[in-house]
Every structure is written in structure tokens, then in C-alpha cells.
Amino acid sequence: MVQNVAAMLPDLEPEDFHLLSGVEQGMRFSEWVRREKLPEFSRLTQEDVDYRLDRCLDRDLIERKTIQYEGYRLKFEGYDALALHTFVERDSISGFGSSLGVGKESDVYEVQSFEPMALKYHREGFTNFREVMKERDYTSDREHVSWLYTARKAAEREYEALEAVYPDVAVPRPVDQNRHAIVMEKIDGVELSRTRLEDEQVVPVLALILDELAEAYEQGRVHADMSEYNVFVNESGITIFDWPQSVPTDHENADEFLERDVENVVGYFRRKYPQLVPDDVDVPGLAAAVATDDRDRRRSLLGL
């Protein structure tokens, strides 16, 4: 498991970050950065590189290989340290709190800013790189792609999507983004998958989710990865999160992704509340009503 690097941040010196940045730069061209290239990439002397390598290895921020040649690459802890250092320098973060959730493709922590916020580290490509390469269209045109690139592009894409739809769509407010990390509004609520709704709430909550997807479409975005695991429910409504796979509405597959999103959401409600959401719900009709922002049509199809 990736460790929380916040505690070691005060012990790191500016030259340590120069070394980490140098390794990061070198990884743009190859998975492992040759030791002799590090003075050039980091703008440190060879003697300083030697000293900083030992410090960063001791702190588990980088790793070394010696087969064929001596090379180095960042571990996710090192990449986390670079992003966190940048947020601190920008005054986007002033304190670090506890974990809010650890998933297959991201880790989320509570952080302190002008108010409690959430810091999301993207982990795409770290544990299952080949699978991510197949699924993410932003890797298709690059000859050499590292997990740093896929994680950073996921964060950039998610931040771009949040900026595009906020505040018209119920999403976390975006605050800052650097490398593979995003600072955003901390949302209180319970994941839809872990919620048991009262009978009278079921169809209205489903309708509310479709309303938000319709507003996102109106703002030019399709989520493209909707499920019961990226919707929070609370007393004031819902919040939709996890937007790294979103696409603009002019994407060639946007309508296909939109219908899949609607099918995923409706399918979840069908399975969990079969007595309230029948199998014959017109998913293509609902998707079309989302794309045209026809609220009355959506409610009619849901029997409201």
C-alpha cells in the first residue's frame, strides 16, 4: 500500500525535490533513468546527486535497479511528495488528515485548506498498467507511456471535467490540481452502493441522478463511468464524483457512453429494488431524454 508521505515532507530539503523532479523528467523518456543522466535532469552536481539518491532511497521515494545498468525511477510515494510539496507552496493545503478512502485507482485523504478539503491521488496504471493502456484513449498516441503519465492525465481530465460542470452539476468543487493529484471539496454522504433507500425515495433518487447527468450533458460532458460506487447520497441530495474517464459531448462515442451510464444506474436500481424499478424501463428512451434535457419525459418513463 502506498504510504502517506505528508509526515516526511518537513524533513525533505529543496535539493531532494530537485532530485525527485529530475527522476520524473527522465521517466518521460524511459521507465528507468540512468544514473549518469541525473545531474542533467536535476541540475545538481554529481556529488549532490549521490547524496540525494541515498536520502530518497532511505525514505522509499525512489527505487533502483542494477541489472544491465544502474537506473532509478520514482515510486508513487515520490510522486506524491512532489505533488504535495507543490500544493503546500501554492497554499492550497496547510495540513494533512486521515484517509477518506483507498481504491483500485485512487487514494483520497482529508486535508486542511481554508476549510476541510479532499486530496485525491490518482493511481491509474500503477498496479495494472497494461489494462489501463487498453482502456484510456489518452495513451494511444504515445510511444513510451509510464504510469506517471497515465495517472497525471487522469487527474488532468478529471479536474477539467469538474471545472466544466461545476457548479451547475452536483460535483465536488475543484480547488487545485498538480501532477496526479486533485484538491477538491470534501463531500459528506454515503456511497449509493452502501445506502438502503426508503421505498418512497428510490425512484426520485434515480430521477435525481438522471437530472444531474442531463445537466452535465448540457454543460458538454458525459461521465462515461457511472455506477453506484461514484454517487454520494445525503440529506440534501446527491453528488456525482470520479470523472477521469469523462468525455465531451462531441466525442464520437459520447451517446454510446451516455446510454451505458444510464443503463448502469438503472440496472443497479433494478437489482436492488426490483419491486420498484421494473425490468422493462426504457433505457434508450431515458438516455435520449437525458441528452435532450427532457425532464418531463424522464419522469414519465420512470412512472413519476
Residues acting as catalytic residues: 225
Q: How far apart are the first and last CA of the chain?
A: 46
Residues in the chain: 304
What are phi and psi for residue 73, nearest 5 degrees?
-145, 155
* Secondary structure class of 63 (helix, strand, coil): strand
Q: Where are the alpha helices (DSSP H) in the chain?
A: 14-26, 38-42, 46-58, 76-89, 129-135, 147-165, 199-218, 254-272, 283-291, 295-301
Residue 173 sits at the vertex; the CA angle it makes with 166 and 193, to the nearest 5 degrees, is: 95
Distance CA 160, CA 139 (A): 17
Locate cell 527522476: which residue? Answer: 23
Whether residue 75 contacts residue 69, with contact meaning beta carbons closer than 8 Å, is answered with no
Which residue pairs, CB below 8 angstroms and at least 24 apart, start in 196-200?
Answer: 197/233, 197/273, 199/273, 199/276
Locate cell 413519476: which residue? Answer: 304
